[in-house]
Amino acid sequence: MINTHDITGLVLAGGLGTRMGNSDKGMLPLHGQPLARHVLQRLAPQVGQLAISANAHAEDYATFGLPVWPDLLPGQLGPLAGLHSGMRHARTPYLLTVPCDSPLLPPDLAVRLAAGLSENDADLAIAVTEEMDPTTGSSVRRPHPVFCLVKTSALPQLEAYLAAGERRMRTWHGPLKLAEVLFQEHGAFGNVNTPDELAALQAQGLSVPMAQAILADAVAPVADLEQLALPQALERILASDIISPISVPAHDNSAMDGYALHGADLGGNAPVTLAVVDTILAGRPGTVPVQRGQCARIMTGAVMPDGCDSVVPQELVRQSSEHGITLAPDCIRPGDNRRFKGEDLMQGQPALLQGKILGPAELGLLASLGIATVPVRRRLRVAFFSTGDELRSIGEALEPGCIYDSNRYTLLGMLTRLGCEVLDMGIVKDNPQALETALRGACAQADVIITSGGVSSGAADFTREILARLGDVAFWQINMRPGRPMAFGNIASDGHSALLLGLPGNPVAVMAAYYFLARPTLLRLMGADTQTASPLLLQVAAQDPIRKKRGRTEYQRGIVERDPDGSQHVRLTGAQGSGILHSMTQANCIIVLHAEQGHVAAGDLVDIVLLRGLI
């Protein structure tokens, strides 16, 4: 088995991009991000280290914060030179190369190539796909030699091949053992060679993990802190690490009401009789030395007398009088029922790390350390409004064709629970002036602006134009359902700037986009650690089959229940339309069906997120 950590993932970006008008392919924008970034995001979870092989525009590639390795060989040798440089630079036993323009590469590329390499005891493994030969109608194997996992120890072979003037990627391995690993997903190895191919890729939409990664990278925690007394700090986010100023407990102490004794007095086959020389209460340490052959009556939490290392619970004592006790052989083992000094927290050790949400246990822990106030991040100010001429506020009459604005209330609920300072800016009509005024007003007052509606392709035109004027906002088509359209970027007005999250209009889409895209972003801005920021996925068996389209992430409303036998299953709430808000009220979880998944069979395990867990 090859460990992920033993693989360096190398994105090959050293080419000239001649068919793209000599532009650097890795830097071409896809969904507002450089193509190479998409590839890195896909590769990152699969390998231990990442690096980029680039020659021109090395400064651009350096902005990814990863090592950039130029070719070590003169002349434009293409991918082989990148492979060569990678094998020279990599500090791991394996190198995985992928081209910078293949953003759809399989999410399990590394594991499958690694399995093929190990099973065949090979030196390198490359991906192959099977394709129909249009003339003969028979299937042919198409190798993808640039998608290559290789032992870095194969470097001498590559150097000998290059020294002989050879240049072909297909045959460099010579006598080394090659494993070809068959992949079914043809499209995954497609790369971008022409502007049309880039446009086609753009039209395919943005994957949820990539959207999440872009959002996560785009924001940093607010800098301002507040020092709060513990009772006020509940649900706030800790802004710096807390180091234990004391050890908890401060002394070895008893875990039981009983008698503290020397463990060395136990043992043997005969009953043991010990003289009781002291009584020690919690908060009142003993005053008399306890010698061998003696013991002290002791209460739970009371400090252990010097030399004593065990406590016999009073109910295990065979006979007791004021002066002595008798213990049966083997009634306890030496060391039993003693709590050690610092076993909860040792002085000088980190007790809580920044980024933690302060819940009841954290408040208690801080109190156990005697800490009265803690630094927390300031609250995030979030302005939100709904867009749409058809929307009416509750209390208003509903004219024909109109609907009540529900999104503002779900957003209000979700944002308030998250601990944001909310600014409800009402309904904004579908007209450019109204939208611009609202956005400028929100910008002046908030860190983040969340809108709903008006970002779907039909509706987006004037929104797009205004947002372009106010800042840098990308319009995404995300491969998710519900919640496909979304706008994201920064806008500025009168010296104030704000992050803009333009959510879709349909009520369930708003909630899905909020929980899986906006909420992690807000939590990051609030200073929460990564674990807190991403929803916790649990696995439960599906009660019935679920229809699911491969290639997009689907969020279905589910009800998870316990069977009489104690096992759990999840079932759908019923109709799953993105406008059916009552499905969210029936659900106690969201079923997360990932892009690579197809139909779910009854009994299959599916990922769920408990709605209660989403605060």
> Residue 106 or 505: which CB sits closer to Mg ion?
505
Determine, following the binding rule CB under 5 A, whether residue 258 of this chain makes contact with Mg ion. Answer: no
Among 388, 482, 502, 520, binds Mg ion (CB under 5 A): 388
Question: Which residue in the shown chain puts its C-beta closest to ligand AMP?
Answer: 505
483 to 522: interface string for Mg ion, x by CB under 5 A:
----------------------x-----------------
d(CA 147, CA 481): 31
> Residue 283 or 401: which CB sits closer to ligand AMP?
401
Largest CA distance in the chain: 103
**Among ligand AMP, Mg ion, none, residue 33 binds (CB under 5-8 Å by kind):** none
Peptide bond into 482 cis (omega under 30): yes
- How many CB atoms are closer than 10 A to CB 474? 16
> Residue 407 or 479: which CB sits closer to ligand AMP?
407
In DSSP terms, 298 is beta-bridged to: 258, 280
d(CA 158, CA 83): 9
**Six-digit token pair at 416?**
């308030």
Determine, following the binding rule CB under 6 A, whether residue 505 of this chain makes contact with ligand AMP. Answer: yes
CB of 422 to ligand AMP, least distance (A): 15
Interface with Mg ion by CB under 5 A: which range of 31-39, 450-458, 537-545, 574-582?
A: 450-458
> Residue 70 or 432: which CB sits closer to ligand AMP?
432
Interface with ligand AMP by CB under 6 A: which range of 210-218, 299-307, 324-332, 384-392?
A: 384-392
Cα 125 to the chain's mean position, in Å?
A: 30
Determine, following the binding rule CB under 6 A, whether residue 482 of this chain makes contact with ligand AMP. Answer: no
d(CA 124, CA 93): 12
Determine, following the binding rule CB under 6 A, whether residue 483 of this chain makes contact with ligand AMP. Answer: no
404 to 433: interface string for ligand AMP, x by CB under 6 A:
-xxx--------------------------
Determine, following the binding rule CB under 6 A, whether residue 232 of this chain makes contact with ligand AMP. Answer: no
> Residue 105 or 509: which CB sits closer to ligand AMP?
509
Scan residues 385-404 and list those touching ligand AMP (CB under 6 A).
Answer: 386, 388, 390-391, 403
In DSSP terms, 149 is beta-bridged to: 96, 125
Determine, following the binding rule CB under 6 A, whether residue 463 of this chain makes contact with ligand AMP. Answer: no
Size of the site for ligand AMP (CB under 6 A): 18
d(CA 549, CA 560): 22
Task: With residue 607 as reference, give the H or E element that holds it.
Answer: strand 605-610
Task: With residue 434 as reference, give the H or E element that holds it.
Answer: helix 432-445
Determine, following the binding rule CB under 5 A, whether residue 419 of this chain makes contact with Mg ion. Answer: no
Burial of 400: CB neighbours in 10 Å, binned 0-12, 13-18, 19+:
exposed
- Residues in the chain, how many? 615
Cα 341 to the chain's mean position, in Å?
A: 36
Q: Which residues, other chains included, contact 20 with Cβ-Cβ below 8 Å and sequence gap of 6+? A: 28, 192, 193, 194, 195, 198
DSSP category for residue 272: E
d(CA 257, CA 298): 6
> Residue 86 or 504: which CB sits closer to ligand AMP?
504
d(CA 442, CA 466): 14
Determine, following the binding rule CB under 5 A, whether residue 34 of this chain makes contact with Mg ion. Answer: no
Among 82, 106, 453, 483, binds Mg ion (CB under 5 A): 453
Binding residues vs ligand AMP (CB under 6 A): 386, 388, 390-391, 403, 405-407, 452-456, 459, 504-507
Binding residues vs Mg ion (CB under 5 A): 388, 453-454, 459, 505
